Amino acid sequence: MTGVRTLLIALGLAAAAVTGVLAAGEGTAPSPAFRQWPGECVADAPFMRRNHMDLLKHQRDDTVHGGIRPANHSLNACVTCHAVKGDDGHPVTVADSRHFCRTCHDTTAVRVDCFSCHTSTPGVAK
Ligand code: HEC
Ligand code: HEC
Ligand code: HEC
């Protein structure tokens, strides 16, 4: 079982890498299929694909330790602009595989615990 699972993950990563190259012309990370977000990202897409985790972590450290709370890299801003509507017309939570923050993480087997504290839908931070 372990061997099969490892193989499946390896295949998944290979497929994700190919998709990323085709979608972005840059082989760093896959790109979500849903791409209709309003407005502009806090940085360009290739930069964000590579560095969003660092942006978020630095921001978190600044906020929790330094009390600095600039709005532009806030997690709530990310999930608000990148919201994906579900069948009921409301933004899906991270429990739904269509959620923006899961589109790549699921294929690359990344797990983040952020949403045990932070809300994953648009609105005021939990
Ligand atoms: C006001 C809207 C808005 C906000 C706020 C925003 N983004 Fe974006 N984001 C976009 C758009 C539009 C794109 C696509 C840009 C492009 O294709 O050039 C994008 C692209 C991305 C991508 C790359 C997706 C891909 O194409 O593969 C990532 C990752 C990302 N954003 C993460 C974040 C994170 C993390 C935050 C919060 C720190 C955030 N975004 C905040 C609008 C936003
Ligand atoms: C144990 C609870 C907890 C977890 C887990 C957690 N955070 Fe936070 N986070 C907080 C608290 C508390 C604040 C401070 C909120 C404030 O001052 O507005 C914060 C602030 C932030 C901020 C800056 C303010 C904002 O709302 O955006 C960012 C960005 C952030 N966290 C990102 C993350 C990311 C990314 C993860 C997952 C890797 C994560 N957090 C996991 C509790 C948590
Ligand atoms: C374009 C694809 C993509 C999107 C969209 C995306 N991520 Fe990621 N994320 C990744 C990849 C790939 C990694 C693993 C990078 C590595 O291991 O170096 C990652 C890693 C992370 C990490 C670090 C995890 C760790 O264990 O260190 C955090 C935190 C994170 N992402 C948060 C988010 C949040 C929050 C969103 C939604 C706002 C999001 N990501 C959307 C591709 C994406």
Which ligand neighbours the alpha carbon of 74 most closely? Answer: 2
Note the pLDDT tens digit of each residue in 55-91. 888 766 777 777 766 666 789 999 999 999 999 999 9
* CA atoms of 110 and 83, how far apart (whole Å): 20
**pLDDT band per the 50, 70, 90 thresholds, residue 29:** low
AA letter at 63: T
Per-residue confidence (pLDDT) for residue 65, from 0 to 100: 73
* CA atoms of 114 and 82, how far apart (whole Å): 16
Note the pLDDT tens digit of each residue in 83-124. 999 999 999 999 999 999 999 999 888 989 899 999 999 975
**CA dihedral in degrees (53, 59, 62, 68; nearest 10)?**
180
Pocket test for ligand 1, best of 22, 26, 41 (most atoms within 8 A of CB): 41
